[in-house]
Structure 1
Amino acid sequence: MIYHLVPLAEWDADPDRPYAPVSLAEDGFVHCAPDEETALAVVNAFYRGAPRPLVALLVDEDRLTASCRWEAAEPAPPPGVPEGTLFPHVYGPLDRAAVQRVLEVRWDDGGRATGLS
């Protein structure tokens, strides 16, 4: 499974169509993380101010119709993620049938992501 982070309202906005976030148009791919620990590091680096609830889509890479490439973070991985970690980038919309679970990000009192449930 690979992880994609998204505000729940955005994920729920158009349930009859494949999910195509803004990053697909801006960067040419959908940003994903390889595991829960990396996904939480991404949340804490980039999504602390995102609308809540924030969820992680657990995507079965084998069920995607778009190409998924494992690539290095540019310019560097977020704090707490080892140098050399590869990130899955999906070069097309996420097929909703590929999403196996939707887990909500849990937060501590300081506003840091601590887990998924």
Structure 2
Amino acid sequence: MLLVEPYKSEILPFWRYKDEASAMKSAEQIYQLFEAYRQQDDFVGMDMARKFIQMGYTRARRYANYKGGKKYAEDGSLNTRGNDPIKAAAATVFKGWWDKIRQDEDYLKRKRRHQALWG
């Protein structure tokens, strides 16, 4: 999903979710790329930036809920769920930016058009 080039190489260097500060810097940089792709009329780039922001949220939540981000133990059983407030704060940052994109009327219009053309 996050492997499409050249977007992966352009976005991945900015993707960080270690803590709230790194998440804020990361999300802002990725959102700047989102806007740059918009200016270039590049919906695929916009959507890739959106996916990295969404994955920043889900990955930070995974690490907030499970030490080391490992939901399952070696034997397949569920690891004990915890709560890392540092990772949770990082997830909250990404969630805010993800929500902003999901409410962006221009993005939504472009998404509908892309889906109509390509499925």
Return the index of the structure with the highest Cα Rg: 2
TM-score (structure 1 length as normaliser):
0.27
Higher strand share: 1
TM-score (structure 2 length as normaliser):
0.27
Q: Which one has more relative contact order, counting CA pairs under 8 Å at least 6 apart?
A: 1
